Chains A and B, each alone.
Chain A
Amino acid sequence: MSGTRLYKNAINIGGALIFGLLLSIFITLFVNSLPSIRKYGFDFITSSIWDPVFEKFGAFPFILGTILTSFISLIISIPFSLSVSLFVAEYYENTFFSKIFETLVDLLAGIPSVIYGLWGFFYVTPIVRNIQIKFSVPPTGVSILAASLILSIMIIPYASSIAKEVIKLVPIDLKEAGYSLGATRYEIIKNVIFPYAKSGIFAGILLSLGRALGETMAVTMVIGNSIQLPKNIFQPGNTIASIIANEFTEAVGELHLSALIELGLILFLITLIINLFANFIIKKQELGI
């Protein structure tokens, strides 16, 4: 009896702590960004001038850069992460080969982001430079495109590992029923596996989006850190996470610091909104089944 109670209490306290922590992060960010919120108000989000010397701060280029890199990388990574998860969970389930492949893909998640950054800097940016020359835009190499490419590789394991688990969970009876009706493998995947596993697959994709939104080091090394508004994805840009990492240590002025913290608050809110939206979609789909 007392063991049960102890256990329950421990869980309650743990849960409350996590919630309290989240709340206190939000409050800290909010309180510290008050000077900037008071001074710039809503203009902070829409203005695209970032001038620490004359203390004019507008976050639009960074918000745009964050959203662009995250969604482009998501679009690039989805086909790969889906095929990886189908490969290991459906086509070659429990074979020696798929075990090795699974480990390798999971290993992608364990590589420190600075190594992705270095690799991207020396290997991906020259490729992007060649593309830029073909499109006759300034061949800077570092650009939103380069950052998106690196990010897309980084987030594949996040989406694929969850997708593969839910694909494995699809009841064998359902699949066998499909086969007995003469369905091909493609039809089974399309009409049985995807409908059954879609909320899980979607959750995995959103987890990877969360990772892409917050990635700092690798992006900073290949995005070009330009504070101007990018006109297309071949131009250098900047993300919220990388401008914070770049300017925080040497930010002397109170407003500069406060503006950087407000950027953190915005990133926090973007992540929160996306997660809430994801929960909403998953709930809706579950009800649909």
Chain B
Amino acid sequence: MIKKILLVIGLIFAAVRLNAQTELIGAGASFPYPLYSKMFDEYYKIYSVKVNYQSIGSGGGIRQLKAKTVDFGASDAILNDEQLKEFDGEILHIPICLGVVVITYNLDVTHRINFTPDLIADIFLGKITKWNDERIKKVNPKLSLPDLPITVVRRADGSGTTFVFTDYLCKVSSEWKEKVGTGTSVNWPVGIGGKGNEGVAGLVKQTKGAIGYVELTYALQNKLPYGVIRNKSGYFINPTVESVSEAGNVKLPDDMRISITDTESKTGYPISAFTYILVYSDLSKANDKMNYEKAKTLANLLWWMTHEGQKYTKPLDYAPLSKEAQKSAEKLLKKLNFDGKILLK
């Protein structure tokens, strides 16, 4: 009897140890979570490597990576130089896909509303307060806009979506940059806050004349109306998976820490950003449990995500990496090492 019990216990431990060898732990951004869980599930089916990803938010992901409790972090926001200094080693930003922010509204109009960058900034600054404002009419000559107050709706919870949106506003409006700035949570001059994409969308749907921003994925899946935005080159661009990938098809820096809002690309949609997986370039520094085998597994996983894994982006309404971005990701991945030993050739 005792032998049997011991055997069972032994087997359990063996199973746990087997698992420990092939399980990677990650934490961070919630925006790419649906895509990541799909990717990790597919990856498990092919390579039987389990990835445990917790979507606790970018801030949490960065903290966990710093505290060395995870193998990789994930973030929608780029770490600045000051933040990078706090880490025990070099951190790589591996781009996985692009996040897109669209302007949604609640208004009975026949066509999509056109927005210029300064219109968006002034609406969210509270300077344009009515839908029939002359400046809105000017770029929407075909629409009959009602005499309705504009209710600004924004995210109440700190989020990567807010980061991307405010980053865009900073680039197109000096007043925004001075007064509000960029961040996952900011000091909004006007408006009401909804929790999550669904909170913002719900408030917009309920309030006539409301305007808000949500992720493209969310707007598409819930059939929300969204606006067409004029980009830096002067073209009005409809947010699609293609126009967003195009936004990332610009000259990219080696470390990929670039904001592509207000993109230089002629056919690119202006409010989008890369979402990243964050890893130590020397993976031996990641945590105590990291070993060469595990580091190799992680490197392979990241390679797969930026290559074969990209095919899962479009069905889930995420924008895949452009050629340019994929090349930069490759360069970064080749820097991955374990105590000096390069992991990918």
Interface residues of A (CB under 8 A from B): 49-54, 56, 121, 125-126, 129, 138-142, 220-221, 224-227, 236, 238, 242, 245-252, 256-257
Contacts and interface: CB of A to CB of B under 8 A. Distances in A.
A252 B182 contact: no
Contacts of A247: 157-158, 184-185
Contacts of B151: 138, 140
Contact of A249 (B60, B180, B194): B60
Given A140-B151, A224-B192, A250 B158 contact: yes
A224 B193 CA distance: 5
A99 to B, nearest CB: 38
Contacts of B140: none
B149 A52 contact: no
A238 B56 CA distance: 23
A126 B203 CA distance: 11
A226 B156 CA distance: 8
A237 to B, nearest CB: 10
A225 B193 contact: yes
Contacts of A236: 192-193
A52 B186 CA distance: 6
Given A220-B195, A225-B192, A250-B59, A121 B184 contact: no
Contact of A252 (B56, B184, B187, B195): B184
Nearest to B184: A250
Contacts of A225: 156, 192-195
A248 B181 CA distance: 19
Interface in B135-179: 149, 151, 156-160
Contacts of B240: none
A250 B203 CA distance: 22
A53 B186 contact: yes
B117 interface: no
A248 B180 CA distance: 20
A52 B157 CA distance: 12
Nearest to B187: A51
Interface residues of B, number: 35
Chain B interface helix/strand/loop/mixed: loop
Chain A residues touching B, majority SS:
loop
Given A226-B188, A247-B158, A250-B185, 11 more contacts: A51-B187, A52-B158, A54-B187, A129-B207, A138-B149, A236-B193, A246-B185, A247-B184, A247-B185, A249-B57, A250-B159
A242 B193 CA distance: 11
Contact of A251 (B83, B182, B185): B185
Nearest to A51: B187
Contacts of A257: 59
B206 A252 contact: no
A210 to B, nearest CB: 23
B33 to A, nearest CB: 13
Contacts of A220: 156, 195
A121 B187 contact: no
Contacts of A250: 57-60, 157-160, 184-185
21 contacts: A50-B187, A51-B186, A52-B187, A53-B183, A53-B187, A54-B181, A121-B202, A138-B151, A139-B207, A225-B156, A227-B188, A246-B158, A247-B157, A247-B158, A247-B184, A247-B185, A248-B158, A249-B56, A250-B60, A250-B184, A251-B185
Contact of A221 (B59, B181, B199): B199
A232 B215 CA distance: 33
Contact of A53 (B181, B203, B206): B181
